[in-house]
């Protein structure tokens, strides 16, 4: 038969089975005081079998769990350059699906893709004072070309407002040129002191949208439109519930008039900013001289927005859905949606199973991203663990018994529910099953967030909450920078955003608008 070689996501050599008993024991001792918010009550009941043996439990050391799972599932690896990472095919596959789904939404809202250069002259960066103050310390600089020292050094883009502002000033003359709605998919670099795979790396991949509008009203509409695009994308395709809304002045993007974000809650109870949308007002228009003639022939500065999400979203997926057995990937972005594990004992079985697997592939066709794991050197049990660790949403076991029944045994990754699916039903049942997994992941993340959202009316109550717990705390809020600073000093929690959708808090807020506070990544 034709072996399904060339699956880009094939696992490499397995991992050591030896459990580091001693090391684990030490870790547990150290971790026992830790907040156990990320721990599900049932985890203790692992009864007889540890399905995946060599992964640190989330409740033992969440950071360690994260790093291990990212590397063992082969999402990414460290590079020789400090703070940079190599995104491996399985991780890049996630990114490609995110790109595909988000790009479609960006285009559907009228934007076009373009590409601006990575090198930004220092003089351009310096034009906007807040902007340069925010980013200069984080810039990597190019000072030489070949063997010649450059007259002016270039920053490797930390973000592209400057270069894009420069170009827009040349492209925009009339109100008829507006709005300009451009997005770019690119890399960016920020010289970070502390880095974590995906969450904060020196170089990262992202998209950055940059738009210019004739009016402030239109500009603000764009800001909120894109925030909503992000919310919908992250909730629908990544199955991560988020709160979206404006940030405080303290958390604002360098050079922006107002910053909006979507905020997600990770399983260790820390918040993660998953996307941002900025109203840049006319700051950049003024310093880059981006003007247009309006219908009355009057010269005006444009109003601008910028918005972005990055490969950090991969980290968000890992930390929102992952459990002690490894990743749990949302089917919409899973590089492999269903893995087929063939099983046989005798040669006759093998032939029959192989033939049946071929029919299964045919039946599924393009309805799901299927991979037949027919690698000979691993046992079925080994493959089960491997694919669970890598988060494949559905496993299809096919052995002699299934061939006899003309069915496959499906097992969901999220809850291990088993179901025999007759081959005749597979084409319709599998896509539905994948949608069920997608929804279940969202629901469980939502339930987790609700269980980890508190409510506080005073600094004392906020302190009391963070003394023993993590998660979000909703606080009735009217812009109060002093209180915000106090909360940060006393609890380490920052104002994540003031949710636009206040419905989840109404029951307890008595009509008062709340802001969300949390310790954050």
Residues 501-520 that bind RNA (CB under 7 A): 520
Helices (H) and strands (E) in the chain, counts: 16, 23
Q: How far is the CB of 137 from RNA (least distance, A)?
A: 8
Q: Which residue has the tokens 């060599």?
A: 54
* 132 versus 302: smaller Cβ distance to RNA: 132
Q: Does 5 bind RNA (CB under 7 A)?
A: no
* 175 versus 382: smaller Cβ distance to RNA: 382
Contact segment (CB under 7 A) with RNA among 8-16, 88-96, 173-181, 331-339 equals 8-16
Contact segment (CB under 7 A) with RNA among 48-56, 228-236, 285-293, 452-460 equals 48-56
Q: Does 352 bind RNA (CB under 7 A)?
A: no
Q: Which residue has the tokens 């405080």?
A: 248
Q: Quick one: which of 20, 217, 298, 406 contacts RNA (CB under 7 A)? A: 20
Return d(Cα 481, Cα 486) in angstroms, integer.
9
Dihedral sign, CA of 214, 217, 218, 219?
positive
Q: Which two tokens stand for residue 408?
A: 């496959």
Q: Where are the alpha helices (DSSP H) in 270-311?
A: 283-288
Interaction residues for RNA, span 167-206 (CB under 7 A): 190, 192-197, 200-202, 204
Q: How far is the CB of 171 from RNA (least distance, A)?
A: 27
Interaction residues for RNA, span 436-495 (CB under 7 A): 488, 492
DSSP 504: G
Return d(Cα 463, Cα 215) in angstroms, integer.
43
Q: Does 384 bind RNA (CB under 7 A)?
A: yes
Interaction residues for RNA, span 227-266 (CB under 7 A): 251, 253-254
Q: How far is the CB of 170 from RNA (least distance, A)?
A: 28
Q: Where are the alpha helices (DSSP H) in 342-477?
A: 347-364, 380-389, 400-405, 423-451, 459-468
* CB contact set of 189 (below 8 Å; sequence gap of 6+): 139, 140, 156, 157, 158, 202, 203, 204
Q: Quick one: which of 69, 389, 430, 497 contacts RNA (CB under 7 A)? A: 389
x/- site string to RNA, residues 93 to 122, per CB under 7 A? ------------------------------
Residue 291 φ/ψ region, left for φ over 0, alpha for ψ in the -120 to 50 degree band, beta for the rest: beta
Interaction residues for RNA, span 270-299 (CB under 7 A): 273
Return d(Cα 376, Cα 374) in angstroms, integer.
6
Q: How many residues does the chain have?
A: 521
Q: Kindly state the number of chain residues that form the binding site for RNA, as judged by CB under 7 A.
A: 72
* 175 versus 378: smaller Cβ distance to RNA: 378
Dihedral sign, CA of 189, 194, 200, 201?
positive
Q: Is residue 488 within a helix (H) or strand (E), and if so which, with residue range?
A: helix 481-491
Q: Quick one: which of 89, 121, 380, 476 contacts RNA (CB under 7 A)? A: 380
* 355 versus 379: smaller Cβ distance to RNA: 379
* 13 versus 297: smaller Cβ distance to RNA: 13
* 100 versus 345: smaller Cβ distance to RNA: 345
Q: How far is the CB of 297 from RNA (least distance, A)?
A: 39
Q: How far is the CB of 392 from RNA (least distance, A)?
A: 12
Q: Does 430 bind RNA (CB under 7 A)?
A: no
Q: Quick one: which of 3, 46, 82, 298 contacts RNA (CB under 7 A)? A: 82
* CB contact set of 201 (below 8 Å; sequence gap of 6+): 83, 84, 85, 192, 195, 311
Q: How far is the CB of 194 from RNA (least distance, A)?
A: 5
């Amino acid at each position: 038969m034709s072996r399904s070689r060339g699956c880009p996501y094939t696992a490499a050599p397995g991992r050591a089975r030896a459990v580091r008993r001693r090391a684990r024991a030490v870790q547990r001792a150290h971790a026992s005081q830790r907040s156990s918010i990320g721990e599900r009550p049932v985890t203790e009941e692992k009864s007889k079998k540890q399905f995946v043996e060599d992964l640190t439990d989330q409740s033992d050391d969440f950071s360690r769990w994260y790093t291990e799972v990212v590397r063992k599932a082969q999402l990414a690896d460290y590079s020789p350059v400090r703070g940079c990472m190599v995104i491996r095919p399985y991780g890049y596959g996630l990114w490609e699906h995110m790109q595909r789904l988000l790009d479609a939404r960006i285009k559907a809202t009228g934007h076009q893709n373009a590409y601006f250069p990575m090198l930004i002259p220092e003089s351009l960066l310096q034009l906007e004072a807040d902007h340069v103050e925010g980013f200069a310390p984080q810039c990597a600089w190019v000072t030489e070309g070949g063997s010649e020292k450059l007259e002016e050094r270039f920053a490797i883009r930390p973000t592209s407002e400057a270069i894009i502002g420069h170009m827009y000033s040349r492209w925009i003359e009339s109100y008829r040129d507006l709005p300009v709605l451009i997005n770019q998919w690119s890399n960016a670099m920020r010289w970070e002191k502390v880095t974590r795979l995906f969450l904060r790396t020196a170089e990262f991949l992202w998209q950055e949208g940059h738009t210019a509008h004739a009016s402030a009203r239109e500009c603000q509409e764009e800001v909120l439109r894109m925030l909503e695009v992000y919310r919908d994308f992250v909730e629908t395709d990544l199955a991560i519930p988020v709160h979206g809304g404006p940030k405080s002045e303290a958390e604002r993007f360098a050079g922006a008039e107002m910053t909006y974000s979507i905020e997600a809650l990770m399983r260790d109870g820390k918040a993660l900013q998953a996307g941002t949308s900025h109203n840049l007002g006319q700051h950049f228009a003024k310093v880059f001289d981006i003007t247009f003639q309006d219908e009355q022939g009057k010269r005006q500065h444009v109003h601008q927005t910028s918005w972005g999400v990055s490969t950090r979203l991969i980290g968000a997926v890992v930390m929102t859905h992952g459990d002690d057995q490894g990743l749990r990937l949302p089917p919409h972005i899973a590089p492999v949606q269903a893995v087929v594990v063939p099983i046989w004992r005798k040669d006759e079985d093998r032939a029959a199973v192989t033939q049946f697997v071929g029919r299964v592939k045919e039946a599924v066709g393009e309805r799901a991203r299927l991979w037949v794991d027919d690698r000979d050197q691993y046992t079925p049990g080994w493959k089960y663990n491997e694919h669970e660790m890598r988060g494949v949403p559905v496993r299809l076991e096919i052995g002699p018994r299934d061939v006899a029944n003309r069915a496959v045994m499906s097992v969901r990754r999220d809850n291990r529910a088993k179901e025999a699916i007759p081959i005749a039903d597979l084409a319709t049942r599998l896509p539905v099953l994948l949608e069920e997994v997608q929804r279940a992941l969202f629901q469980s993340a939502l339930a987790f967030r609700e269980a980890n959202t508190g409510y506080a009316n005073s600094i004392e109550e906020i302190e009391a909450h963070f003394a023993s717990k993590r998660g979000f705390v909703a606080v009735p809020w009217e812009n109060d920078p002093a209180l915000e600073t106090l909360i940060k000093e006393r609890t380490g929690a920052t104002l994540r955003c003031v949710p636009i959708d206040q419905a989840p808090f109404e029951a307890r807020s008595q009509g008062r608008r709340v802001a969300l506070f949390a310790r954050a990544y």
